[in-house]
Structure 1
């Protein structure tokens, strides 16, 4: 009787682990969409990839959420020559963030406009902190990287270049392209670039789900 009981215990533990990872992934993605909204509403400069999405929104007339999904799909297409494999978290990243951003932005539009500078700075700080937490949650779930993260790791693997150099190069390109299209670049963009790495570095080890033995 001990063998079936042990097998049932192992199966139950696996289900619990999958459930925890899935819940952590979804919470992280919801918070990520919220962090995008806070940073955009602050009007002090968007995150690098969101500068590009802002610019494309102005050019195409599409909603920010639609552009976010389209950009994610284009980035995923770039995974093919890099031999990157998406996971369930990769697909969830595209869908959850893309679906939630527009409703969150609609809620943020209910705030007074213009907001006092102090309120905008507060939104910026909260947005950056929330983004760091959200990133650590969804990456720590270990269910697959987001499209942009996978592009970075794929380029690192294929070129052998340092992560910092590859990430910095990608962000410079997308910010420049987004700014040329009308996206918002400001102190918030710089603050995010400087703060997000240290934030994720501190939070990720604490929020990564241990690998099952």
Structure 2
């Protein structure tokens, strides 16, 4: 019998245990659909042109100086962040590597077919849709129980090593990437504030709906964050 959504919890599994935990068709489908939707949500915010998420402020600044698309910058920086996992002794899983690759490819795919609208109301609609879709996508890929994304792992690793709260570590990380992005000429706007305020509550609300129950595992529920 499937556990009620309200009682499902995330489990902390190693890379091999993630694959052995069962329910692979459901979990793999949810993982990759979630990651594709995550990339699409980034593209919607880009075309809304009213501000990007903190990490994408940095990515948008980076591509002003390096010949990369936004999606390629997401992929490259994901693997750069994974290098920081080594001294933190974090272990990547299937979800980690998939996150690093699929989100950027999906973002570029949607950007290739979606233009920036001229009307302000349409741009606001794209921004709001992007933030909402990002919340759904975050809950879906985290709930598939295939591990943390590169940036989540960095945050958790720093939390563990420094003893500081997850909230503080996340805040300092996002302030740092926004400042770096602005220095590089990245895009900051009202959408950045909306994303920062909304994504945590949205993910928290939706995570129980998407978390796949894995019987027999000890339940822990870390705070859901971005890839």
Normalised by the length of structure 2, the TM-score is 0.84
1:150-180, CA deviations, whole angstroms, 9 ceiling, x for partnerless residues? 1111111111111111111000000110111
Does 2:132 match 1:126? no
| CA apart distance, 1:101 | 1.6
Which of 38, 43, 47 is 2:49 aligned to?
43
Q: Please give the secondary structure, in 2, of the residue aligned with 1:60.
A: coil
Does 2:94 match 1:91? no
Which of 53, 69, 80 is 2:86 aligned to?
80
Runs of 4+ in 1 over 2 A off after TM superposition: none
Does 2:21 match 1:18? no
Stretch deviating more after TM superposition (182-191 or 57-66): 57-66
Stretch deviating more after TM superposition (66-75 or 97-106): 97-106
Does 2:73 match 1:67? yes
Structure 2 unmatched ranges of 5 or more? 1-19, 217-227
Structure 2 CA distance, aligned partners of 1:34 and 1:65?
10
Structure 1 CA distance, aligned partners of 2:21 and 2:60?
40
Q: Please give the secondary structure, in 1, of the residue aligned with 2:91.
A: coil
Structure 1 unmatched ranges of 5 or more? 1-13
Structure 1 or 2, whichever has the larger Rg, is: 1
| CA apart distance, 1:15 | 8.8
Aligned residues: 197
| CA apart distance, 1:63 | 1.3
Does 2:16 match 1:33? no
What CA RMSD, in Å, does the superposition of the two structures yield over aligned residues?
1.3
Greater helix share, 1 or 2? 1
Normalised by the length of structure 1, the TM-score is 0.89
